[in-house]
Structure formats: structure tokens, C-alpha cells
């Protein structure tokens, strides 16, 4: 049996080595952009008004992909919530008392981190960043909030409301792009403004703000679900 397992392992390793060798042998590095990438690079800034080219591609040209990514994250949060659902109306169970140092640090850091997260997705059309990155930063503030206020209770209502309103508004802007402009999530439903300024790139800052709030709410919901189920387990034990 051991000889059979080793033989099978050698076959798998040999096949992987052969496959990687063929990939390396046939690899042809690109020295120029393809037609689609060239269009994005040359026309994108003028057409979308966004100084950050990555943003203009993700939010406008490939807006349906972004909608799919946000939908996947929503389904992930919903599935986790379904699997870890406790009894109706349950609240956060404190796991342990927080130190005075942690509480004081949280009061100072939470507003600062929240401001950074908001800055990241509001300025996503100007600098590297955007809705997903800013939403992840907002979720990190929620983690700090959970571990620093163990004497209080948190529920889902605010997170659910934020996620629902952000998702609905995101899809609504996409539909308005079809009706008022040239396609889904077309940012020309709002004036492009002056290139390189905060109020520019049409609807892109609004879209990224909604994505940031939605992602932040969904990640925070996942964190809260895991924290609640752990709290219930500790309470039972």
C-alpha cells in the first residue's frame, strides 16, 4: 500500500512538472497592450474623467463584474448568517471584560480609522483605493468596536439597513446609467466635473462610496455572526 501511494505521488509530481515545463516553454511575454487595454489606457481618463485608471475600468467598463463581486460577498454573508443563526432576537454575548487601556485606545482609534476608510473610497477615483479597500478598513473598526465594548450589546439592524440601502442604491445607479446614459453603471449620469478634483468623474465617487458602505456592512455582519456564535458557546459551557 505504501509503495502504491508513493508511486501515485510520483506520477502526480511528474505530471505537474511536465505541465509547468510546457507552460514555461510556450510562454510568450507581451511587450505591448492588447486592443482593449490600449483603449482603456488612451481613452479611459478622458471618457470617464477619473484620474485613477483602475477605478474607471472597474466601476464603469467592467461594472457588471463589480456587481458580481459584491453579490458574491453578499451571498457569503447571508450563508454564514444562515448557518450560524441563533435564536430570533439574540444579541451579542460579552466574551470577556475589556481593559481600560483598550477602551481608551478604541475611543481614539475608531474615529481615525473610520475617517481613513471613508477617505479611501471617496477618493478612489483620484488615488489608489476604492470601495472594497475602504469597506475592509471600516470592517476593521467594527472588530475594534466589538472587542472594546464587551459590556454593551450589538445587533444586526444597523448593518442590515446599511447593506440593503447601499446595495439598492448601487443597482439603481446602474439602471439609471442604462436609461440616462450609455450603459449599466455609466458614470455620465452626473457631470464629469474638473479632472483631478474631488467632485469629478461623474457618478464614480458615489458608486464607490456605496460599494464601500456595502462591503463594510457585509464584512462586519460576518464578523458579528462568528462573534455571536462564539459567545453563545461560551455561555453554554
Q: What cell was used for 56?
A: 474607471
Tell me which DSSP letter residue 32 carries. S
pLDDT by residue, tens only, the chain of 237 residues: 678 878 888 889 999 999 888 888 777 777 788 888 888 888 988 899 999 988 888 888 888 888 888 889 888 888 887 777 654 444 444 445 567 888 888 889 999 999 999 999 999 899 888 889 999 999 998 888 888 875 555 567 888 888 889 999 999 999 999 999 888 889 999 999 999 898 999 999 999 999 999 999 988 888 887 766 555 544 445
pTM: predicted TM-score of the whole model, two decimal places = 0.76
Total number of domains constituting the chain: 1
The residue segments making up the domain with residue 117 are 2-236
Beta-ladder partners of 180: none
**Are 206 and 187 within 8 A, CB to CB?**
no
Strand ranges for 69-138 from DSSP E = none
Amino acid at each position: 500500500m505504501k509503495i502504491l501511494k508513493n508511486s501515485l505521488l510520483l506520477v502526480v509530481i511528474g505530471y505537474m512538472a511536465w505541465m509547468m515545463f510546457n507552460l514555461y516553454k510556450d510562454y510568450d511575454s507581451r511587450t505591448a497592450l492588447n486592443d482593449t487595454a490600449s483603449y482603456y489606457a488612451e481613452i479611459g481618463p478622458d471618457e470617464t474623467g477619473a484620474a485613477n485608471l483602475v477605478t474607471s475600468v472597474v466601476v464603469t467598463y467592467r461594472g457588471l463584474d463589480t456587481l458580481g463581486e459584491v453579490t458574491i460577498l453578499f451571498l457569503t454573508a447571508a450563508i454564514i448568517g444562515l448557518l450560524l443563526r441563533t435564536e430570533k432576537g439574540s444579541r451579542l454575548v460579552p466574551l470577556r471584560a475589556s481593559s481600560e487601556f483598550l477602551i481608551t485606545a478604541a475611543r481614539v482609534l475608531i474615529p481615525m480609522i473610520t475617517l481613513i476608510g471613508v477617505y479611501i473610497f471617496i477618493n478612489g477615483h483620484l488615488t489608489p483605493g476604492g470601495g472594497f479597500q475602504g469597506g475592509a478598513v471600516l470592517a476593521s473598526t467594527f472588530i475594534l468596536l466589538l472587542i472594546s465594548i464587551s459590556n454593551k450589546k450589538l445587533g444586526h439592524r444597523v448593518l442590515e439597513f446599511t447593506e440593503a440601502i447601499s446595495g439598492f442604491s448601487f443597482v439603481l445607479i446602474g439602471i439609471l446609467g442604462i436609461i440616462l446614459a450609455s450603459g449599466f453603471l455609466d458614470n455620465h449620469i452626473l457631470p464629469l466635473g474638473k479632472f483631478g478634483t474631488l467632485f469629478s468623474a461623474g457618478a464614480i465617487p458615489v458608486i464607490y462610496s456605496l460599494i464601500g458602505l456595502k462591503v463594510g456592512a457585509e464584512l462586519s455582519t460576518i464578523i458579528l455572526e462568528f462573534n455571536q456564535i462564539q459567545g453563545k458557546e461560551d455561555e453554554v459551557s
